[in-house]
Structure 1
């Protein structure tokens, strides 16, 4: 269990696999490499994340541009003439160069202006109701992932090499290979069709949110189960690596109870790796939410994004990427600070 996955988990926590593959010591955590403290470190991290997000948004604009057709054609009514389409393109700014359109859109981003959709609706207004629903779904799935993977990884680590350890590790390996839509279909089959315990679709209330908490159970589980498998292996691998530390071996020789060795010696040292794994899962959960929302008819950004791709609507697609990227950036920053704190680094 402390083989290749352990090394991969440790490389992830330390910032990258390149040096470890070459047989060199892995670099220190991101905050350590910055050699900055306090506000300067925070500013450097924010600039780094903002630049990455800007590159991603530029890629989104370019990718939509490469799709056949454009927003004017996709949203046109039947029977519109070529002059009508040309007028619509001018109205949407599609007659301008791609760089100019992207620059104009980015200029409004710091003020919260996400532009206007091809159908004339402000993007911020379009995302105002569905995006909080997606954040709720992803946040609950992240919480379930964290609690379940910690519990399973620690349970397996209490008796390394035993039946429990092997069973948890094997099950986690099988589960992490399952796509979200396969898990979702299986959950619907068992809990909605066979037992009728939980609803298979989501109904919305007057405020646009799910009408009952029971409608959240299956979508949350469909998102969380694959990530529980992945993070359980990360937790188990991190604990196995930490068990080789001299202070842990000393604690075992001194006869401390297993649960005390786990909570006071293993978990604190494994925390940076665990935080990195959970932070990585945030992007996977929000990405998988698009598929899961479609299956369960959940009122999130999945349907908005699907419609925007059909309409070749760059501002809407970029707006979805921007708001989800902001959430992921926040989680990654939190993970960076947790790793720095656990490693004794300065922030």
Structure 2
């Protein structure tokens, strides 16, 4: 959650009945790219009946490597490319700094990849290089965390931004008992998806029914386990009356739960946010965490790969209203600004967490 899990017993196809509706920032389509980024413009028409090409070379560039969430996401991309008889490649930095992805994009251009799938650490820092790729004929699929609007062809969004923010507030409000101090433990200060969710979170808190909740701090753990652990500790030391830590990042929620589970704050301060069942199971079972939410990260990568191959094959160009089929996930329709919404996530608690394994 970063920014950043639902395979097991459920898939997105069945997730339509799940609780939350979550999405992130919009973007622009290939056909209407007109921003200052100088992205490739195209008047090409989509051919929805075009055969999907085999051998499409698609490189995944996540926010950082060796992140549990990232591993599951890109694993879904590999599964899809295996089905499509494409060529999968994984590259990326070990840190989630704003400019850490730029050199990888430049190398992928030189390697003549057909498609780049990127979860942007910073929406603008990667823009010039992504547009160089597009000018060279490379299709760009942003996933999980959007790039700037005019720097990619489509964006695979987990769910709606409004829905994510709303669900985070609802869980925080319930766990706080309707009043008291709450804090957010986010990923990086520039993470597109995190900031979009936090903005919604803040706006919803202005509604009368949440008047007794007070957001005291937004802290950043940079999607680093130890940094997030320290930030959680700092929040509790700085705000002794804190009731809830909301972490919309899988790294952050696990680190905060780990700290509280072995401290005197256990049972006094709640932790919620976005996490994976496997990383959070022990904290749910020991009573540290009552509930949290997430979508299926493997399906994000899976959908990104199918979208990338559809782009490379000419089935879609990224224009609103175009449709394509994404294997086991079924048919998708491209929304405004090239956004493709995966589908709703679920809320995990003690009653259902053992039904999921990811």
- The TM-score, its normalising length taken from structure 2, stands at 0.26
Higher normalized strand content (fraction of residues): 2
Point out the structure with max Rg over C-alpha: 1
- The TM-score, its normalising length taken from structure 1, stands at 0.26
Higher normalized helix content (fraction of residues): 1
